[in-house]
Structure 1
């Protein structure tokens, strides 16, 4: 008994076990965006780079050199001066950008819009951030008046609330799991300055009678091979210190091509056929 109000609970039901895209495709999209973010912030990553294996460090330096030549082939400008906004990085890597804004649905509060480019069908368009709870862990106080609780197929819960007690718990767990200069999660989605531009999925509104769903929820477990230096962009953290289970993430995947200016809509009950 999670004591979570079922009227505000978001979840993927039993009928939606089939995934729109494979886990490998989800992983590929996240790595592509996160690696681009890392390279963009490379001059700020000195402490992180020093603890990486030489082979990994050299690979990034090589990629940065190639990027530098592409961006400014005629000038000998220092790579530190190449610095784009996260939403621009998303556009350069996946061909679109998304952002929170006032929803087009009356009384719906904020929503998420495609602000630039085109989202092709089957593309990861956002992530559902928050603290990840196993089904046996307490969420009673966090769930009171909280419409941002997401329940996965196996009962795992993700609290995507960026205010109040939920915010305090996420920050605490994020600080707990930090290993020296290596951050195991991203907490900037709790602030106006988001480092991971995909971490806005909790504000995607459910569809209505006149608004068909154009995205769906899909669960994804972060594999053990995930690069440690890129975990700083994962907008999820486990509540428990038990590391036996992989970190659960939920992404939203486009069900059709979504054009610039469109708002993202999903069902609470996402059935994938």
Structure 2
């Protein structure tokens, strides 16, 4: 499946996004004209018309959830991505899985470890450094830090629906095509555990089942996956 087919609105902004630089404020001894500095959430809103963030879930004892903080998400739009290390069915994940609620199982048995702490975090960082190609990073590692550059990479914190909170997103899994631009891979929050065999990079995105308005929390059905 073509990644840009899932995100046509991103394709239309492709050249524009390549020119955007995220800068940190710093004081200097020179006087420069004021510049517009956009944080990732503002870039997301200006590009797709909405922004999302993590916050305390509206469900009792559910911990962290994901909310639409600005704008609205139209039906059928990609609203979030599930980050993490990709494991094939035959690859070891026992120690990473202990006490880990962030492991997502795809229809074909492929696993995505979206835990941003502990051994899972260390494994992801190690695999990302392993695959770096010169100046090009092959995955986004900022989702492991407070300074997230891809604000969509919070899909592991979307809570399961309940009787009172119906699902408003569903999971869509796909493989990234080989011709995906290498300079954009730094924004994909996924990396393969094994480097021995050339296999497509599995990604999972969350798609809006209906229009989701500002202030609403995202809820999924853990048993609803579209292949």
Task: State if a TM-score over 0.5 links the two structures.
Answer: yes
Partners of 1:185 and 1:142 in 2: CA distance: 20
Question: What's the counterpart of residue 230 of structure 1?
Answer: 184
Tell me if structure 2 keeps the 8 A contact 1:36–1:93.
no
Question: What's the counterpart of residue 26 of structure 1?
Answer: 6
Tell me, yes or no, if structure 1 residue 102 matches structure 2 residue 82.
Answer: no
Partners of 2:46 and 2:22 in 1: CA distance: 17
Q: CA RMSD in A?
A: 2.3
Tell me, yes or no, if structure 1 residue 41 matches structure 2 residue 18.
Answer: no
Tell me, yes or no, if structure 1 residue 165 matches structure 2 residue 119.
Answer: yes
Tell me if structure 1 keeps the 8 A contact 2:10–2:47.
no
Figure out how many residues of one structure are paired with residues of the other and give that number.
Answer: 219
Partners of 1:32 and 1:202 in 2: CA distance: 27
Give the structure with the larger strand fraction.
2
Shift of residue 82, structure 1, vs aligned partner? 4.0
List alignment gaps of at least 5 residues for structure 1.
1-20, 45-76
Q: CA 1:207 to 1:147, structure 2 compared with 1: closer, same or farther past 3 Å?
A: same
What TM-score, normalized to structure 2?
0.89
Tell me if structure 2 keeps the 8 A contact 1:33–1:90.
no
Q: CA 1:30 to 1:185, structure 2 compared with 1: closer, same or farther past 3 Å?
A: farther
**Which one of 150, 164, 175 corresponds to residue 129 of structure 2?**
175
Partners of 1:34 and 1:109 in 2: CA distance: 35
Question: What's the counterpart of residue 28 of structure 2?
Answer: none
Partners of 1:29 and 1:159 in 2: CA distance: 28
Q: CA 1:85 to 1:35, structure 2 compared with 1: closer, same or farther past 3 Å?
A: farther
Partners of 2:179 and 2:139 in 1: CA distance: 16
Tell me if structure 1 keeps the 8 A contact 2:7–2:78.
no
Q: Cα deviation per residue 1:63-117 (whole Å; 9 max; x = unaligned)?
A: xxxxxxxxxxxxxx79xx4431101111011100000000011110000000000
Question: What's the counterpart of residue 75 of structure 2?
Answer: 121
The residue matched to 1:40 in structure 2 has which SS?
A: coil
Q: CA 1:175 to 1:35, structure 2 compared with 1: closer, same or farther past 3 Å?
A: farther
Q: Cα deviation per residue 1:180-206 (whole Å; 9 max; x = unaligned)?
A: 110000000011110001000000000
Greater shift in the superposed pair: 32-41 or 184-193 = 32-41
Partners of 1:258 and 1:33 in 2: CA distance: 22
The residue matched to 2:135 in structure 1 has which SS?
A: coil
Q: Which has the larger radius of gyration?
A: 1
Partners of 1:217 and 1:234 in 2: CA distance: 16
Question: What's the counterpart of residue 142 of structure 1?
Answer: 96
Give the structure with the larger helix fraction.
1
Question: What's the counterpart of residue 220 of structure 1?
Answer: 174
Question: What's the counterpart of residue 52 of structure 1?
Answer: none
Q: CA 1:228 to 1:152, structure 2 compared with 1: closer, same or farther past 3 Å?
A: same
Shift of residue 244, structure 1, vs aligned partner? 2.1
Tell me, yes or no, if structure 1 residue 197 matches structure 2 residue 177.
Answer: no
**Which one of 62, 86, 96 corresponds to residue 40 of structure 2?**
86
